[in-house]
Chain A
Amino acid sequence: MQSDDQVKRLRAPFTEEVARSLQSGDRILLSGVIYTLRDAGHKRLIELLESGGESPFPLKDAVLYYVGPTPATKGRVIGSAGPTTASRMDPYTPALIERGLRGMIGKGYRSESVVDAIKQYGAVYFAATGGAGALISRTILEAQIVAWDDLGTEALRRLVVKDLPLTVIIDSEGRNLYHDGPQAWRRSHGYED
C-alpha cells in the first residue's frame, strides 16, 4: 500500500519532467491554472483542432479537469464542482495528449489507448473524489468561461485552484492505482485473486 502521510504539492501547468516524477498512489495538492472540459467541449475541441483551428487555451503542459459544475450562487466563483467519469473522454484524449496535454483530473477507468498515450508522452491521470463537489468548490479561487458559453455547464473554463486534493491513478510508467490498490487490499486480507 502507498504511504498515506506524504502529500506532494504541485503547480499547474507542469512539464513532462514533472509528470514523469509522479507515481501512482501519490497524494497531491494541486495549485495553479487548470481548464475544465467534458463531453460536448471535447467534441468541439477535437473538431476544431482537426479542421486546423487553434485551441482556445494553451494545450501544452495543460491540466484538464473533467467537471460540469453547478451554477455559482451569490458570493461564490463556482458551485459544486466534483469530477465526472473520465472514460467518456477516452475517444478524444490520446489526440490531446499528443498535442501537449499533460494532466487529466477525473474519476474512473481509462482505456488502453489513453494509458499508452500517457506512457508515450509523459502525462498523468489524477482522480479527485467523486461526490465531494462542495469540498472541492472551496479550493477553486477563480473561474472564468474561456469559450463555448452556449454549452452551459459544459463550457470551457479557466480555473485557478489552491490545494485541490488529488490522487495519482495512472502514472507515466503505466502503473494504475485502480488495479494495484484493490489488489493490495485483497492480498492483505487473504482474498487472493
Chain B
Amino acid sequence: MKKGRIMAIRIFDVDLLRDAVEKMCGPVACDMPTDVRSAIETALTVEDAANAKSVLSELLKNYDIAADERIPICQDTGMVVIFLDVGFDVHFIGDPYEAIDEGVRRGYKNSALRMSVVGDPLRRVNTGDNTPALVTTRFVPGDRVTVTFLAKGFGSENMSRLAMLLPADGLEGVREFVVNTARNAGPNACPPLVIGVGIGGTFDHVALAAKRSLARDIGDHNPDPFYAELEQSILEEINRLGIGPQGLGGRTTALSVAIEVLPTHIAGLPVACNINCHVARHKQEVL
C-alpha cells in the first residue's frame, strides 16, 4: 500500500448479492422493461401492415397480462447471464459465484420460472434449478458491486453469429455481416429483434462485447457519434428487409442495434452479432 493512503475496504457479505439476484428473477421474467415497451408502442404507430400491427398489439397485451398476473412474459425464462462489476475496494466474505447461483436457484423456484439449463452440453441432463448463471467479472473503481442481469432466451441466442472478418472488409463488411445475421434469424428469433454487436478485440472478447451491448437500454446510443450513426444506419437497413414482427411482413424487424467496440490486432476485424428477441429482459442493481 502506498504511503499516506487511507485504507478503505468495504466488507461485503455475499448474502447481499444472493438476495439481490433472487429478487431480480421474478421481475425480470414478468415485467417488460419500459425501454422495450415504449419501443414496441412506437413501432405500432409506424407499422402499416395488418399482420404486423396485430402482432405488436398482442405483444403489448401480453406484457400487461404478464405484469398483472405475475406470469412470465415468455415461457423461455432464459439462462441467467450476469455482468458483475466489482469495486477495487470491495472485499467479499464468502463465494460471490455460489451466492449468485443460490440467488438464481431461489428466484427461479419462488417465481415458478422454467428451468432451462442442462449441466453438460452433450449429456443434456437438466440441472433442475436453472443454475449455473454465466458470470463475467470486471473490476472497477469504487466500493460498489453492480449486478447487470440478463435472462437470455435461446430462440434468439441460436441465431447469433460471429465472424473473423479481415481489416479490408472494413465498415461495409461489418454492416453486411450484421444485416445478413438479422435476415438469417428471420422469424426464428421472434422479431422485433434487439441486436447487440461487438466489433474488435479477440474471438472471445468480441462475443462478450456483443452480449454486454444487449444490457443497454433501447435508445442509448454508443457515445462515439461515428458508432451511434452506424447503429442507426444498420437498423434502418435491417428494417428495409420487410421481415417484420414475427416474420409475417412489416417495417419493424428490429427495435435497436447497439454496438460496443474494442481495440484489436492489426491483422483482424472480429465481429459478433448477438440476437435478442423482443423479450429483451435486462435489469441492473447497484449494491
Contacts and interface: CB of A to CB of B under 8 A. Distances in A.
B244 interface: yes
Interface string A82-118: 1011010000000000000000000111000000000
Interface string A32-76: 000000001000000000000000000000000001111111001
B75 A129 contact: no
B54 A130 contact: no
B75 A67 contact: yes
Contacts of A70: 71-72, 75, 77, 112-114
A108 B74 contact: no
Interface stretch (B79-87, B182-190, B205-213): B182-190
Interface residues of B, number: 50
Given A70-B77, A85-B188, A129 B246 contact: yes
B122 interface: no
B174 interface: no
B65 A107 contact: no
Contacts of A119: none
B185 to A, nearest CB: 9
A184 B249 CA distance: 7
A127 interface: yes
B96 interface: no
B250 interface: yes
Contact of B240 (A138, A177, A191): A191
Interface in B201-245: 240-244
Nearest to B72: A80
B106 to A, nearest CB: 15
B248 A177 contact: yes
B62 A135 contact: yes
Interface string B262-287: 00000000000000011100000000
Contact of B62 (A107, A134, A153): A134
Residue among B61, B62, B70, B277 with the highest chain A CB neighbour number at 10 A: B62
B259 interface: no
A53 B164 CA distance: 48
Given A84-B76, A133-B75, A69 B58 contact: no
A167 interface: yes
Contacts of B75: 67-70, 79-82, 84, 133, 153
A189 B114 contact: no
Given A1-B49, A167-B51, A134 B71 contact: yes
A165 interface: yes
B246 A127 contact: yes
Nearest to A76: B71
A108 B188 contact: yes
A2 interface: yes
Contacts of A25: 51
Given A85-B155, A108-B155, A181-B244, A130 B277 contact: yes
Given A109-B188, A134-B72, A178-B186, A71 B247 contact: no
B50 interface: yes
Contacts of B65: 134-135, 137-138
Contacts of A133: 62, 66, 71-75
Contacts of A109: 186-188
Interface of B: 49-55, 58-59, 61-62, 65-66, 69-77, 112-116, 124, 126, 155, 158, 186-190, 240-244, 246-251, 277-279
